[in-house]
Structure 1
Amino acid sequence: MIEIELLNGRVDLVRDGVPVALTPDEGWLTVALALAPEEGLAARTIKDALHVKIISGALRQRLTRFRNRTGLAIRSADVKSAKVYHLDLTDVRVDALDYLTRVDQIRRAGPAVDDATLDAARALWKLGLPRFPNMAEPAPAAYESLRCAHEYLTGSGRRILIVDDQVGDELAARLRRHRCTVAHDLAEFEKYYPVLDDFDLAVVDLHLTQTYADNTGDTIVREINLMGVGLPVVMITLRPPENRSIPEWIRSLGLVDVIFKKRDEPGADMAFVAQRVNEILLEEPAARACDQLMHRVQKLRRKARERLRAGRSEAAYTEAVARMDEYAEKINRLASDNQLADARAEAARFVASYGE
């Protein structure tokens, strides 16, 4: 059995349970064959992408080595005097093809689709399709189909927790393609602590009082971060926070983004906010939250180095910084792998050890 994973931002091939290391050219070839159109992958397409000569037999030799290393069954055929290649998908599982099949089933089911089916499809798409800098896209038609399928899937049926005292219900009505839950204050939000990981996104208002004198939204986001759950958060507000730049505010709390409301009274039109929420859902909010977390860790590292120097000899300082850097790199690795919950939990421990 051969498994080909393409939806984690790279090409992974596992043969009978053993990972096969692929060069960039082999990765491109794997994608091109696995997602080739019905008529097959033209030899000229491979030649142009990999800069290999056809007439000299170099392409044939390369494909033979590729077959031997991967175990993939590749057959060739002559179509109108041009050679094309097909990958035999018997005993080969390709996550991208599974994804297309599942999304098609979801489209056909319509409103009757169940949560388990949606979750199974969404679990396949991790960091998206692999990219190959300075090379042609390996399967343009399939890539476009996958992007359209992803847009369809992320544009419907997401579980959104809205925390807003004034316009939460109006926003939920605008996001009716999704499954929205509205909490109107901090106490109501706290009831959802046990199930926060069941949501795909939280949309939190900065001010949960009509006087705008509070920053309750900040408190909610800090609680989410300390709990170590993998819930990405978008902040919404009518007014920006005082004495803080928006980029610094986003980084300090690990927000996905901030959306400014045009109005904030019951009945206000939330079309713009709903549009931005839908756009953010297409942009993989957990990945964006992880990016912000990595920026925050870099700032924490700089401050920690300053604190660690006090009262230490040079040797002790060097050793302490090395331990701290190792811890910070662990957080960065988790965030790079899009493991938001674990990265947040480790970041909270980092702050407990080295300060904010």
Structure 2
Amino acid sequence: MKRFPSDPVAILQHLVRIDSVNPDLVPGAAGEAQIAIWCSEWLLGQGFQVTLLEQVPGRPSVVGIKRGTGGGRSLMLNAHLDTVGVATYAGDPFSGDLRAGRVYGRGAVDTKSGLAAILVAAARASAVGLAGDVIVTLVADEEFGSIGTEEVLRTLSADAALVIEPSSLELTTAHRGFAWFELCLTGLAAHGSQPELGVDAIWHAGLALRALDELRQQLNSVPAHATLGHGAVRVSKIVGGDDAATVAARCVLTLERRMLPGESPERVDSELRALFTELARTEPQFRFELTRLVARAAFEAEPHWPILRALSGNAERVLGAPAKTRGEPFWTDAGLILEAGIPCVVFGADGEGLHADTEWVDAQSVRALAEILEGTITEFCGPTVG
């Protein structure tokens, strides 16, 4: 019989040694199959009902459920199996070495520490008997397209969720959303010696940049969100023109709009279309096509949610002081989970090097995370009655 570790740090070390680089980020990379099998077998050994969801072949997500006796609340625990690439990593990205109280390797903090803590906490809490269901969701593809969490949410729901992402053992109660757009500007080619016979799409790109800068100033002029600051808009890519002697007939800009809670993707879409429609009104030859590529809503927890109160209380119990709250500029799968109507909070271990050349997590914070999660599961799902 295969023997599995039960200490969260030992589990973390083993998980780091499994290559799970996202193949949508690095073509030909390992993906989540091997790590999903390992986590599935671990959960089966703890008496969980385990299902692999794999709508996209080779990109599995793990769902492990321990049913309660009834009368309690259900809790989903969510963390991602995939990591970013390792091409520039300094040293062995899959070492899992424990040195001076830190575990090193790609995914150590983002977020195999979360996987390890969830496995241990869910097993320990459910072993004593709970009234509500414990639902473990270990998902594919969070680092790129979130196909794993989207697939989970098509078949599962819960009364609340905890999304485990690195947060230095602080409560992440809000993060920005984002939307990516492609702005295609159409001009008219002409010889460079007679630009008046053409319509310069690159020149029109300059007008669009000026309008976007005015939008940026408007976003910065309103009161800032308490933890997230202001919304943002920027151009991430420009492609246009054919050669030095020809007026550009086409120019394409890729835009990013970072959104605050209350700013929906639809609202941002309308905002940008109105901006460029007004520009076309003042500049009759300005012709544009705006296409929304990807959009994810922002996330913000409500102070009265029972899951936030349970997590906050257990964090204070384990840490010996009230946990700080924070907002994040980046997006997580909590945005999708909240959009599905499930109250959630983001919480995770302490470390550094997300997507960087060296990544590590504080081992003691992983053990503290597991203990906090165990207490939160027990409190939220409720003990078995009778």
- TM-score class, shorter: under 0.3
More helix, by proportion: 1
More strand, by proportion: 2
